[in-house]
Structure 1
Amino acid sequence: MKFPADFSWRALFLGLGGAAVIAASSTYVALRLGALPWPTIFVAVVSMACLRPFGASLREINVAHTGMSAGGLVAGGVAFTLPGLWMADPEATLSAAQALGAASTGALLGAFFTAVVRCSFIEEQQLPYPMGAAAAETLLAGDSGGRKARVLFGSLGFSGVITALRDGVGVIPALVGNPATLGFWLSPMALGIGYIIGPLFMGSWLAGGVLAHGLFLPLGFRFGLFSSEEAALLMKNSLGIGLIVGAGVATLLRGMVRLGHRGRGLSLSGWKWSALTVAGGCALLTAVMGLSLPLSLLVVFGVWLCVIMAATLTGQTGIDPMEVFGILLVLFVRWVFPLGRGEAYLLAAVVAVATGLAGDALQDFKAGHVLGTNPFSQWLNEVGGGMVGAFVAVGALFIMKDAYGAMGPGTQLVAPQAFAVKSVVEGLFHGGFFLGGAITGMLLALLGIPAMTLGIGVYLPLFISTTAGIGGGVRLLVDKTGKRTDGNETLIASGFLGGEGLVGVLIALLKVVTGG
């Protein structure tokens, strides 16, 4: 059998193995921090370090990292939605098979619909896809001496050791200061995320935390707005969730306008592929999730629309609000068909995984377009990495649940996106503050203000935001002084993120095995 150009078995196996590692790490990061930066540059450097010594071309390396990065966004789709069911009802029945069915169905739908729209968004509209373009530049810069790999793996090891000493051995405290006022989470991961997302988004994140905990809560208690601490947290969290959802809706609206002005979402030459994907998606949803055929057809077309929107938004801004897509589709479907609680969360997961994988795939296709990589070779690895990511992410999710128990506000697994999904699906939020936050989030986002990260800051504990804010402050200083060292700062931040994520999952697994 003749394989397409740039495809190799070593690129495939490296991509699958890397997807598993990235999926496990990303599940932990999403549950602990509620943020999931694109892994594209991280996996590009790892692939280059592993394959370049064996004479691999940049195109083969690109194929390998395409499979690797798929695991991260599939994990995000799982962690941003399914934990909401346990938050709503800790005794709710959710089997690993059901979760895997939703994750794998979403991964396949995302991969196949991405194949339909790739030509339009990458070649015809030529959207920027900033992370994909940066990954291509990283590979073109080359690293024959292995310096970038040493920087990356050194920071990954340092972060892993700190995490082990903090969470495994208990030698290092998790918090310094007063978590209710001014405290700091001793987390390399939070520092790394703050650096990666940059001063603008990190500034709005930190501003949300300061406004919520330094102004909203104190004034509310002072003027008797809250009847109890629980009521105060409910109103604060409802406000933050409203900001997140409102900003997501505004982003979608802006994307629709741009999509209407910039051209078609797919090429007419792909109609047979499109019909096959729709038919296959309906069959999957009917067979795997037990949905009726009309409901499956509605969901598949809804996923298709969401994938087109995700492709547009990711291409223009580098932002992919996958959990918001899940929320909106579930709300829409509920207007037409009755949905059980479990079905609602599973459908949200299908949409979130599909849109996350689509955004990731198109970032990698952008890099491949710059490098001249065979798209079909990339797509094969994307499918493989997405399916591996589905298995590993579901496994990591159940491991984290068994190890830490409860998820949501006030726990070690805050999972803000999943809490937002739960709050909307269950209707368990303060309607006035949610609506006010949603309207404010929409208006701010339409004005170009990053309201989504503002909402995350309102929702998360302040001690997490302060630590991430330090990372954003370091990025600001680096940008202002111009003292960059060939992008090594971003690699260090990526290593901080990956090291804590990997060791965090291993510690959780050890807790499950030992019963500790």
Structure 2
Amino acid sequence: MDNGNNRAPWRGQLTLRGAIIGTIGCVIITASSAYTALRLGALPWPIVFAAVISLFFLRLLGNASLNEANVTHTIMSAGAMVAGGLAFTLPGAWMLGLANQMGWVQMFLVALCGTVLGLVCTALIHRHFIVEDELEFPTGTAAAETLRATEAGGSTGARLFWSMGLAGAYGVLRDALGVVPTMLAQLPIPGVSFGIYNSPMMLSVGFLVGFVPLAFWFGGAAAANFGLIGAGSALGLWSVTSAQGIVSSLGMGLMMGSGIATVVKDILPQVGTFVRQARQDAPGEKDDPQSLVSGSLRTDAGIFGVATAAVAVLACLGLGLSPVASVVVVALTFVTTIMSAQSCGQTGIDPMEIFGLIVLLAVAALGEHSQVRLFFVAGMVAVACGLAGDVMNDFRAGHLLGTDPRAQWLGQALGGIVGAVVAAAVMYALVAAYGPGAFGPGKAFVAAQASVVATMISGIPSVPAFAIGLAAGIALYWAKLPAMMVGLGVYLPFYMSLTAFLGALAKLAYDAAWRRRNAAATSGTDDAERERLFAEHEQNGLVVASGVLGGESIVGVIIAFASVIMGLAA
């Protein structure tokens, strides 16, 4: 395997054949992702699926390495989240009767601006989250384990693919055949979506993330749903509807506060170091294989600066935003991209449309009253955050496999731009074919997230709750507590938090069972041997959980392909 130690490591990892395979796959996955996000209101990560397909086709051509497959699947999966960013925001404008103000050109510019901002931001934060903090990024970890197991074969490969197969079969029974329900143990609690999400993938996320982070996540969910909504409405403090607005505003504030604190505490000091290094052009930093901005700091700063300025100009001239609004969007996209990366790293979840809403509301507060332009803002931010989630997951997989991050970033740029073209084209084709009336709750294309954006376009439901959440998010992060996890628990539907927490409890039970079973066998061994045996146990659990996560993701993409084909045939 090429670990990036040769003279120009990325050249052997970003290959012509890999670029061709990745681009073809990107077109297919992007198209199906746009359709799925609009039709089903959900979008599974396609990274594991892309990893398997990439290695398969590269092996057919011979002499494939894991690094080449890693870069190829980076290209292949990039457009999916670009499509998600558009599908989760822009159809809200169609629901409000603004379809005639939004053509393919505007949708493409939204996707292109978001893609460029996402690429610039992830290049700057790559080292912090991947190398220094070493966040889990469960989907990226699953992709790396999938590639390793595919290459290694044996018991590890068998364990991975058996778990993938079982999870995939379960996904078919649930989503394609309707044999098993999507929700279990539902209870009619006013204002609270109580139940267990019948998703092996969601359980595996909790298993991979672990108990302590999930305890904060679940604590936020319990306090918001049973405290603010349940107890608050029962005591007559507010209605259930008002309580739901308070909770959503509080959750957005917590996530926003966490993002701001991350920028101030962790990112801005690195910017100062970056500037000082740029002035000195320190040769000692030039060949750092773990940095995306180390080749020539002055050149890199210039390229990123020009790209960011170009986005601001495009937002002004192409989308009609004011200069002030364009600058604010660019600045806040950097903050929300960091929030997105942190959320994906800790939970595997990327609430991209929420970050788009946050910036949309900020721009609206500055005096932008054109509804269609506010949708453009939400779309740009959602695309940037969606792409950031995909990029950082791919970086995590590459870090585990020893892939050169520059090859991955270039591959992501290729896939992101291709995805911008395809996603805009598919969106335009669907609204042209079915009409704006086909989009919305109860319609052929539910576009659930975009419906929320359309509803929220009038403003934050509870400004005081948002302000409290903002302050609390900053304080929690400064106290070294996972504010983002708490915020996700407050904002997300309770059934998602409960299911992830059950996955974390399964991890506790799995570890406890191993300790009881091996207590006698390890009693006479030294600490190093016990640590080795426990690491092997951890690896086995990681492989199975990754397979479960990947199996459901792969089936989700396959069902998306089938939906596209049946939709075209109908």
Alignment equivalent of 2:218, drawn from 206, 217, 231: 206
2-structure distance, mates of 1:113, 1:248: 13
- Give yes or no for the alignment of 1:57 onto 2:65: yes
Partner of 2:16: 9
Q: Corresponding residue for 1:491?
A: 546
Of stretches 204-213 and 422-431 in structure 1, the one that deviates more from structure 2 is: 422-431
Distance 2:482 2:408 in 1: 32
Tell me which residue corresponds to 1:406: 441
Q: Quick check: 1:243–1:440 contact (8 Å CA) kept in 2?
A: yes
The superposition leaves residues 164-199 of structure 1 with CA deviations (integer Å, 9 ceiling, x where unpaired) of: 433444332333333335532323333233334433
1:71 aligns with 2:100: no
1:296–1:30: structure 2 CA closer, same or farther, 3 Å change rule? same
Give the alignment of 1:355-366 within 5 angstroms: 355-358=385-388, 360-361=390-391, 364=394
Partner of 2:468: 436
Counterpart for residue 259 of structure 1: 270
CA contact (8 A) 1:330 1:348 kept: yes
The answer as to whether partners of 2:110 and 2:379 remain within 8 angstroms in 1 is: yes
What are the Cα deviations for residues 359-400 of structure 1, in whole angstroms up to 9, with x where unaligned?
644664676678675666444422222134335656479699
Q: Deviations over 1:212-270 (max 9, x none)?
A: 3333333223311234x433433333333333333333333333444356544962133
Gap change, CA 1:79 and 1:358, over 3 Å in 2: same
Distance in 1 (alpha carbons) for counterparts of 2:499 and 2:244: 21
Task: Pick from 377, 401, 407 the counterpart of residue 347 of structure 1.
Answer: 377
The 10-residue stretch of structure 1 (275-284 or 53-62) with the greater mean CA deviation from structure 2:
275-284
State the SS of the aligned residue for 2:368: coil
Are the counterparts in 2 of residues 198 and 475 from structure 1 also a CA contact under 8 Å? yes
Structure 2 match to 1:175? 183
Match of 1:459 in 2: 491
Q: Which amino acid aligns with 1:186?
A: N
Question: Residues 76-95 of structure 1: matches in 2 within 5 Å?
Answer: 76-78=84-86, 81-82=89-90, 85=93, 90-93=96-99, 95=102
Q: Where does 1:22-37 land on structure 2 (aligned, <5 Å)? A: 23=30, 24=32
Any idea what SS the aligned residue of 2:210 has?
helix
Residue identity in the other structure for 1:216: L
Larger CA deviation: 39-48 vs 451-460: 39-48
Distance 1:313 1:479 in 2: 26
What is the DSSP-based 3-state SS (H/G/I as helix, E as strand, rest coil) of the residue aligned with 1:64? helix
Q: Secondary structure, in 3 states, of the residue corresponding to 2:241? A: helix
Determine whether 1:505 maps to 2:551: no
Partner of 2:327: 298
Matches within 5 A, 1:229-308: 229-260=240-271, 262-264=273-275, 267-274=297-304, 276-278=306-308, 280-282=310-312, 284-286=314-316, 288-291=318-321, 294=323, 298=327, 302=331, 305-306=334-335
Contact 1:25–1:501 (8 Å) recurs in 2:
no
Alignment check: 8 A CA contact 1:185 1:463 kept: yes
Q: CA deviation at 1:107?
A: 1.4
Q: Which runs of 5+ in 2 are unaligned?
A: 1-9, 279-292, 515-533
**Equivalent pair of 1:242/1:438 in contact (CA under 8 Å):** yes
User: Which residue number in structure 2 is paired with residue 47 of structure 1?
Assistant: 54
Q: Determine if the alignment matches structure 1 residue 218 to structure 2 residue 230.
A: yes
Identity %: 31
SS of residue in 1 equivalent to 2:151:
coil
CA distance in 2, matches of 1:465, 1:314: 14
C-alpha offsets along residues 124-182 of structure 1, whole Å, 9 cap, x if unaligned?
A: x9645546895778767872427666655555554454344334443323333333355
Asked if structure 2 preserves the Cα contact closer than 8 Å seen for 1:255 and 1:309, the reply is no
Q: CA RMSD in A?
A: 4.8
Cα offset, 1:436, TM superposition? 2.8
Rate the CA distance shift 1:128–1:183 in 2: closer, same or farther, 3 A.
closer
Q: SS at 2:119's partner residue?
A: helix
* In 2: Cα distance, 1:383 partner to 1:214 partner: 44
Deviations 1:405-440 (CA, angstroms, capped at 9, x unpaired): 329xxx98764x984x66765314023333333333
Letter in 1 for 2:180: I
Q: Which amino acid aligns with 1:493?
A: V
Q: Aligned partners of 1:129 and 1:358: how far apart in 2?
A: 16
Measured after TM superposition, the shift of residue 102 of structure 1 is 0.9
Report deviation, 1:341.
1.8
**What whole-Å deviation, never above 9, does each CA across 1:455-481 have from its counterpart, x for those lacking one?**
333334333332332223223334554
Return the alpha-carbon distance in structure 2 between the equivalents of residues 248 and 151 of structure 1.
Answer: 38
Contact kept? 2:205, 2:347, Cα under 8 Å: no
Report the Cα distance in structure 2 between the residues aligned to 1:372 and 1:460, rounded to whole angstroms: 34
Indicate which of 458, 480, 485 corresponds to 1:426.
458
Give me the whole-angstrom Cα distance separating, in 2, the residues matched to 1:321 and 1:168.
25
Offset, 1:49: 4.6
Rounded to whole Å, the distance in 1 between the matches of 2:114 and 2:205 is 26
Supply the AA of the counterpart residue of 2:78: A
Bigger shift: 389-398 or 57-66?
389-398
Determine the C-alpha separation between the residues in 2 that align with 1:212 and 1:306. 25
Matched-pair contact (CA < 8 Å) for 1:151–1:491? no
Letter of the 1:59 partner, please give it: N
Change in Cα spacing, 1:356 to 1:324, as seen in structure 2 (3 Å) is same
Q: Residues of 1 paired with 2:199 and 2:63: CA distance?
A: 37
Deviations 1:324-355 (A, max 9, x none): 76456545655666352221221232233235
Q: Which runs of 5+ in 1 are unaligned?
A: none
Deviations 1:481-508 (A, max 9, x none): 4534173223223224404532553576
Q: TM-score, normalised by structure 2?
A: 0.69
Partner of 1:446: 478
- What amino acid is aligned across from residue 495 of structure 1 in structure 2? G
Q: Counterpart of 1:445 in structure 2: which amino acid? A: Y
The number of equivalent residue pairs is 500
